[in-house]
Amino acid sequence: MSLSLLVFYTAVISAPSLGFLIDTVQQITHRQICYTGLGCFATDPPFTSLQRPLSVLPDSPDVIQTTFLLYTRSNPTTTNEQILSASNLTSIATSYFNSQKQTKFIVHGFTHNGHRQWIRNMVAQLLIKDDYNVIVVDWGHGSGIPYTQATANTRVVGAQIAQLITVLQQSFNASMGDMHIIGHSLGAHISGYAGERLQHLGRITGKLSSF
């Protein structure tokens, strides 16, 4: 709605209904949802603005089903990928994750998932280049249309990456400076949200130009 139209509507609405309108607008714009271990996500500005008048709340972790897929030189392909969980330390302790090595996170964007060909290629190339831990962040159950919902979900996925990195640091002695998050499309937004929650993160690389 353009500003002039909004002014027009405001002008023709009588005083009592104006109060109702303001209440309704606040109900739409000031909503929040909290997820255990990740914090609360509100639609307050900047998530609602003139540029983004309709802001939606992020889906729950149960819906998004974010999965962290570990690849190393010991298990470089999807047939022997290992799933790491921030809430299951055994899944990390029994994996090939090595906290003395550098870790590369790859985060896909809108409509993609963690098993796209470009991701497999990137995993392979990174493991040729160096002896990294490569962690693919698969949030394919939350990245689909509508774009507004996928955009909202990036906030939860960013929080989940921050949660995993914190566990890797605190329980496995990994160094924050060894963490590098590579994000494509909405994955770049996710990287930003993860970085916002972490101090001294090694590096973020974002590519925003296209889906």
Ligand X SMILES: *[C@@H]1O[C@H](CO)[C@@H](O)[C@H](O)[C@H]1NC(C)=O
Site residues (vs ligand X, CB under 6 A): 88, 90-91, 94, 100, 173, 175
Tokens representing residue 77 in the block: 């392909």
Could you tell me the smallest distance in angstroms from the CB atom of residue 120 to ligand X?
22
Closer to ligand X at the Cβ: 87 or 121?
87
Instruction: Output the smallest distance, CB 84 to ligand X, in A.
Output: 9
DSSP for 95-111 reads: SS--TTS-EEEEE--TT
The CA distance from 63 to 24, in Å, is 28
- Give min distance, CB of 39 to ligand X, in A: 23
Of 59 and 178, the one with the shorter C-beta distance to ligand X is 178
Identify which of residues 32 and 88 has a Cβ nearer to ligand X in the complex.
88
Q: According to DSSP H, which parts of 54-110 are helical? A: 61-64, 89-93
According to DSSP, residue 136 is labeled E
Specify the residue, 88 or 125, whose C-beta has the smaller distance to ligand X: 88
Shortest distance, CB of residue 100 to ligand X, whole angstroms? 6
